[in-house]
Amino acid sequence: MTYRVVQWSTGNVGRHAIAGIDARPDLELAGVWVSNPAKAGRDAGDLAGLGRDLGVTATGDADALLALRPDCVVYTSMADVRLMEAIGDLCRILRAGVNVVSSSPVFLQFPDGVVPPEMSDPVREAAAAGGASVFVNGIDPGFANDVLPLAVTGISERIDQVRCMEILNYNTYDQATVLFDIMGFGRPMDDVPMLLQPGVLTMAWGSVVRQIAAGLGVELDEIAEWHTRLPAPETFAVSAGTIEKGTAAALRFEVRGMRGGEAVVVLEHVTRLRDDLAPDWPQPAGAGCYRVEVRGEPNYTVDLRLLGTDGDHNTAGLKATAMRLVNAVPAVVEAPPGLLTALDLPLIPGRGLL
C-alpha cells in the first residue's frame, strides 16, 4: 500500500523529512507547505537540497493541501516560540480527517501529568472529531528516550534508576532562535533564558520522564528540575553566530522523576558549544551521542553515536528526528484515532536495504 503524505515546513528537520519520504517506496509526496513566500512555487527536491526535482511544488495554501485528502501530514514546524499556533495547526489538520506525525509541540509525546489537560484536550478532541491519529516524536524527546531505554530495561533483573542523556556539541547547529533566544547561549550569565524559566524544562522533557515511568509501571511523586551553566573563556564563533567572552557557552540540566526522595528516572542534557568546555562534565562517545544508563542488576550503559554522512553529528540528529516521523507514517495511519504515544505503537523499523 502507498500512503500519500504532505510535508508541513521545510526547515532544519523538514528538508530531511522530504528526502526520507522520497526514499520510501511506500510513501508518495503529495504536497509541501511553506510559511516563507519566497519558497512558494519551488520544487520540493530543490527545497530539500536533493539536486533534482520531485515534481511537487511548495505552497502556502493550507486549505489546498488538506483538500488533497492525504493519508498523513509530517508536521515539522517550530513550536517553541509559537506554541498555541502549532496546537491550532495540529487541530486543523486532524479535524480535516488527516493523520499527523509531528516533531512538536514536544509535550504531546506523553502529556498526561506534564501539562494541564486544557493544553492537550483540544488535540484529542480534534483527533476524535476527524477520526485521525497524531504521534509526536523525534530523537529527543523521542526514540533516544522512549523506545531505546525501555528496550534496555527489558534485560534487567532489578531497576534502580533509568537515566537518558544527550551529550552533544551544538556548534554546528545553525538555528539562532533555539541557541540564543531559547537556550540562552551567547547571553549574559545572569540572564535567564526561556528554557530555564521555572517549569519550562518539565514542559519540554517531563513527557520523557513520565512515559518511561509509565512504561515501567512506576508512579512518580513529582518532577524536579536542575541546571548549571558555564561561560565562554574567550570570544569564538559557531554556525549560528558569535559567542562573546563571559557569556553562556555550556549548559547542563536534568529533569528528574522523583519517588521516595530519590531520582529514579532522569533526563539529562550536556550541551557544549566547544569540545574543550566543561571537561569534568560527561563526555560523548564519538562526536556526539545519546546515552542510556540503567542502574540496577546488572548495570547497563548504551551509547547511540551520531554522525551524518557529511561528517556532522548535528546533521545526524536532525535526520534522526525526521526519519522517526517518516518511518512512523504507516503505523500511525493504520492505528485507531487519537493521541498516540510510543507505548501505543509497535516497533517502527526503517524500510529496505540498498
pLDDT at 254: 98
- Domain of 93, CATH number, reads 3.40.50.720
Mean pLDDT of 52-73: 98
Mean pLDDT of 44-65: 97
Q: Do residue 84 and residue 213 come from a single domain?
A: no
Q: Do residue 296 and residue 323 come from a single domain?
A: no
Q: Do residue 298 and residue 151 come from a single domain?
A: yes
Cβ pair 26, 3 in contact under 8 A: yes
Distance CA 85, CA 75 (A): 13
Asked if residue 41 has pLDDT above 90, the reply is: yes
The string of pLDDT tens digits covering residues 194-232 is 999 999 999 999 999 999 999 999 999 999 999 999 999
Burial state string for 2-38 with b = 16 or more CB within 10 A and e = fewer than 16: ebbbbbbbbbbbbbbbbbbbbebeebebbbbbbeeee
**Is 349 part of any domain?**
no
Q: Do residue 132 and residue 213 come from a single domain?
A: no
DSSP conformational letter for 181: I
Q: Do residue 126 and residue 159 come from a single domain?
A: no
Distance CA 125, CA 169 (A): 39
- Domain of 152, CATH number, reads 3.30.360
The number of folded domains in the chain is 2
Owning domain of residue 202: 147-305
- Four-CA torsion 315, 319, 320, 321, nearest 10 degrees: 110
pLDDT at 81: 87
Q: Do residue 44 and residue 132 come from a single domain?
A: yes
**Is 279 part of any domain?**
yes
The string of pLDDT tens digits covering residues 116-157 is 999 999 999 999 999 999 999 999 999 999 999 999 999 999
Q: Do residue 291 and residue 328 come from a single domain?
A: no
- Among residues of the chain, what percentage have pLDDT more than 90? 97
pLDDT at 353: 62
Burial class (CB in 10 A: 0-12, 13-18, 19+), 61: exposed
Mean pLDDT of 82-87: 95
Q: pLDDT class for 100, splitting at 50, 70, 90?
A: very high
Mean pLDDT of 309-326: 97
**Is 351 part of any domain?**
no
**Is 14 part of any domain?**
yes
Asked if residue 324 has pLDDT above 70, the reply is: yes
**Is 350 part of any domain?**
no
